[in-house]
Amino acid sequence: MLLFVGLGNPTPNSENNRHNIGFKLIDALNKKFGLSKQKPKFKGLLTTGNVNNKKVYAIKPLTFMNNSGICIRELIEYFKINAEDVIVFHDDLDIEFGKIKAKFGGSSAGHNGIESIDKFIGKDYSRVRIGIGRPKTNTEVTDHVLKDFDEDEMLQLKKITDNIIDSIPILINKKLDLFSSTVNNK
């Protein structure tokens, strides 16, 4: 059993924000693998189904980015999912736009959503870090992550999302280095 988590903020005006890239990944995962209709549960929007004959849950926390761990803890306690079987998709400022880095455990690097998850379930889970890059101007980091992707980025984001979703079978087998190299070399 696996839990996929996409981080983001649940307001309509946040839909295309850089910070909401995790939500976009969960939507694409649900569509590609025909997971159940999203239902409000565990302070999030939950879907279930099978991916490559493996039972999966996918959730978009509705607790806002900074409190993502609350939702995840409730869900893993209820379904008795080990933290090692949690895979979180989130934006990362320190990675070039469009590049992917997957890792197990480690530091939050100042990402508030990851800090919240670490607080509630520990650090022993997988993270798929999706590069959004740092602002090119003197824009504050907060303004940058809460800003919508521009038109060109949205086109590139579709390709990035497709590459990630096409490589989910590798991710399910927790081959994180292979997953990262496969996605980045498509």
The whole-number pLDDT of residue 135 equals 84
CATH number corresponding to 2-184: 3.40.50.1470
Q: From first to last of its 186 residues, what are the pLDDT tens digits of the chain? A: 999 999 999 999 999 999 999 999 999 999 999 999 999 999 999 999 999 999 999 999 999 999 999 999 999 999 999 999 999 999 999 999 999 999 999 999 989 999 999 999 999 999 999 999 988 878 888 888 999 999 999 999 999 999 999 999 999 999 999 999 999 998
> According to the 3-state scheme, what is the secondary structure of the chain?
CEEEEECCCCCHHHCCEHHHHHHHHHHHHHHHHCCCCCEEECCEEEEEEEECCEEEEEEEECCCHHHHHHHHHHHHHHHCCCHHHEEEEEEECCCCCCCEEEEECCCCCCCHHHHHHHHHHCCCCEEEEEECCCCCCCCCHHHHHCCECCHHHHHHHHHHHHHHHHCHHHHHCCCHHHHHHHHHCC
| Active-site residue, 19 included | yes
Q: Kindly list the distances between the CA atom of residue 64 and the CA atoms of 8, 27, 112, 132, 181, in Å, as whole numbers in the listed order.
A: 7, 17, 10, 19, 30
Using an 8 Å Cβ cutoff, are 37 and 45 in contact? no
How far apart (Å, rounded) are the C-alpha atoms in residues 76 and 94? 29
Q: What is the dihedral of CA 12, 50, 29, 126, to 10 degrees?
A: 100
Catalytic residue among 19, 90, 111, 144: 19
Residue in 126, 47, 60 with CA at minimum distance from that of residue 88: 126
The whole-number pLDDT of residue 142 equals 87
The whole-number pLDDT of residue 103 equals 96
The whole-number pLDDT of residue 139 equals 80
Q: In what order do the strands lie in the sheet with 86-92?
A: 39-41, 44-51, 54-61, 2-6, 86-92, 126-131, 100-104
The whole-number pLDDT of residue 55 equals 96
90, amino acid identity: H
The whole-number pLDDT of residue 83 equals 97
Residue 80 zone, left/alpha/beta (φ > 0; ψ -120 to 50; rest): left
